[in-house]
Amino acid sequence: MNLRKHVSLNINIRGNGQSATLAINDRCKSLMGEGKKIYNFGLGQSPFPVPMPVVNALKLYAHEKDYLPAKGLPALKEAVAGFHKAKDNVDANPENVLVGPGSKELMFLLQLCFYGEIVVPTPCWVSYVPQARILGKKVRLMHTSFEDKWHITPRRLAEFLESEHDIFRPRILVLNYPGNPDGQTYTLDQLKEIAEVARKYELILLSDEIYGQLHHKGEHISVARFYPEGTIISSGISKWCGAGGWRLGTFTFPKDLDWLLDAMASVASETYTSVSAPIQYAAVHAFRGGVAIERYLWNARRVLSTLGKECHHILTEAGVRVHPPEGGFYLFLDFTPMADRLSKRGITDSKTLCERLLQETGVAMLPGSDFERPYEELTARLSYINFNGANALTTSETIPIHDVLPEGFLQQMCPDTIEGVKLIAKWISGSNKD
């Protein structure tokens, strides 16, 4: 019997491959296995370890074995609501929190449950469109521009919504700031204006603030402050808490969206059931925070902002269009200024750009097309995370908290990151000579 002749797959699944961010990681590992020196700017993983109090909590609760409620451990829902109250000045209620195995899974459940349009500004996180494809649906893309810092403006949003004959259709707009893949955020005034537009058109906002605590100045602002009745805040421990592999994300709903929360929890109870119990108990300590976690965040921000600025400087000098980073650990590079030169080398799209860069220098980035940018646009995401975060953090902790990091810190702590970015600059200028 040969079961291959029976291949019978849902047509929405065929040929999808795996998530772009996971795929680039596997690719890098395999190239390194061949003995090549690789600068992996591809994966979006925090370089820092999980803070010690949170790791210790996991050890303490390692024996917890009961199935937990589908919506989440009550103490964790309370901690998450408390977190958003304290950090974001939002009146969050524990009853309106949903805990899931990563905010990616929660986003999938949202797409599965919500019957309406999901609008995503691009460049956007890599999984929105593949998730929709799996479900046989479409997300509505809204392209932004370099000039608008790769984010939407209140005016463009209003125009977009007005352009429909059906302006009150059920619709969720996804916002993500500090942004993946762009590292940019919104100002207080912009958020206020976006909130006004959303309120006017009765638009639900999914505000993905998973990088909020990695705002480089620690000044993250949630749009939920200005639009509490219509904003779902997405968060989790993957980015600011370094625990991507632990798989825990949260959605905090406004009261009037309980119908959506309940529907998602219902699907959760029939699929993943609930998030791993020991992980949930440990996460309580992450969201409760405290002095140790604040110090961790302070140092993480200082390292990331110093490194991000330096990468930005090197790339700008080389002629790449890129905005100075404001949060998180990404830069979104635009090679349009050297399009002619690249074209002469046979590079006319972002995929080829990244493939050639990888082959010729060992530098791995994700092409702009993975973030739903037009195929021919010469953009790419750089994650400046290929350094030993534990060492960098320990060293940063020895330096007085309001000082800038001394000269030489980056060379010592993040040598591969600096070297990899310089290789991009060199590769680009090499293309000058063609």
Instruction: Report angle CA 267, 270, 271 to the nearest 5 degrees.
Output: 85
Specify whether the CB–CB gap between 124 and 371 falls below 8 A.
yes
User: What is d(CA 297, CA 287) in angstroms, rounded to the nearest whole number?
Assistant: 13
Residue 262 CB partners (closer than 8 Å, separation 6+): none
In a 3-state reduction of DSSP, which class is residue 361?
Answer: helix
Position 320 contacts a second copy (CB under 8 A): no
Measured from the CB of residue 208, what is the shortest distance to a second copy in angstroms? 16
Select 114 or 211, whichever has its Cβ closest to a second copy. Answer: 114
* Residue numbers 133-152 binding a second copy by CB under 8 A: 134
Measured from the CB of residue 412, what is the shortest distance to a second copy in angstroms? 23
Specify whether the CB–CB gap between 250 and 100 falls below 8 A.
yes
DSSP 8-state code for residue 339: H
39, 108, 387, 409: which one contacts a second copy (CB under 8 A)?
A: 108
Select 115 or 400, whichever has its Cβ closest to a second copy. Answer: 115
Give me the amino acid identity at 367.
P
Measured from the CB of residue 70, what is the shortest distance to a second copy in angstroms? 6
140, 143, 199, 309: which one contacts a second copy (CB under 8 A)?
A: 199
Position 202 contacts a second copy (CB under 8 A): yes
Position 381 contacts a second copy (CB under 8 A): no
Position 9 contacts a second copy (CB under 8 A): yes
Select 71 or 149, whichever has its Cβ closest to a second copy. Answer: 71
Contacts of range 352-360, beta carbons closer than 8 Å, 24 or more positions apart: 353/378, 353/380, 354/380, 357/424, 357/427, 358/27, 358/31, 360/427
Measured from the CB of residue 322, what is the shortest distance to a second copy in angstroms? 26
Position 345 contacts a second copy (CB under 8 A): no
* Residue numbers 46-105 binding a second copy by CB under 8 A: 46, 49-50, 55-56, 58-59, 62-70, 101-102, 104-105
H helix or E strand, kind and range, residue 379: strand 379-383
Edge to edge, the sheet with strand 366-367 lists 330-334, 379-383, 366-367
* Residue numbers 26-55 binding a second copy by CB under 8 A: 26, 43, 45-46, 49-50, 55
Length of the chain: 434
Select 269 or 316, whichever has its Cβ closest to a second copy. Answer: 269
Position 183 contacts a second copy (CB under 8 A): no
Residue 355 CB partners (closer than 8 Å, separation 6+): none
Position 267 contacts a second copy (CB under 8 A): yes
User: What is d(CA 238, CA 407) in angstroms, rounded to the nearest whole number?
Assistant: 30
Position 11 contacts a second copy (CB under 8 A): yes
Measured from the CB of residue 336, what is the shortest distance to a second copy in angstroms? 30
Choices 91-99, 268-276, 329-337, 360-368; region in contact with a second copy by CB under 8 A: 268-276
Specify whether the CB–CB gap between 109 and 266 falls below 8 A.
no
Measured from the CB of residue 57, what is the shortest distance to a second copy in angstroms? 9
Select 68 or 322, whichever has its Cβ closest to a second copy. Answer: 68
Position 292 contacts a second copy (CB under 8 A): no
Contacts of range 101-105, beta carbons closer than 8 Å, 24 or more positions apart: 101/247, 101/248, 101/249, 101/272, 101/275, 101/276, 102/236, 102/238, 102/247, 102/248, 102/249, 103/208, 103/210, 103/234, 103/235, 103/236, 103/238, 103/249, 103/250, 103/251, 104/249, 105/249, 105/272
Number of residues engaging a second copy in binding (CB under 8 A):
85
* Residue numbers 203-242 binding a second copy by CB under 8 A: 204, 229-230, 242
* Residue numbers 387-426 binding a second copy by CB under 8 A: none
* Residue numbers 270-289 binding a second copy by CB under 8 A: 270-279, 282
Measured from the CB of residue 149, what is the shortest distance to a second copy in angstroms? 28
Specify whether the CB–CB gap between 376 and 349 falls below 8 A.
yes
Measured from the CB of residue 16, what is the shortest distance to a second copy in angstroms? 5
User: What is d(CA 87, CA 74) in angstroms, rounded to the nearest whole number?
Assistant: 20
Position 17 contacts a second copy (CB under 8 A): yes
Position 166 contacts a second copy (CB under 8 A): no
Measured from the CB of residue 170, what is the shortest distance to a second copy in angstroms? 4
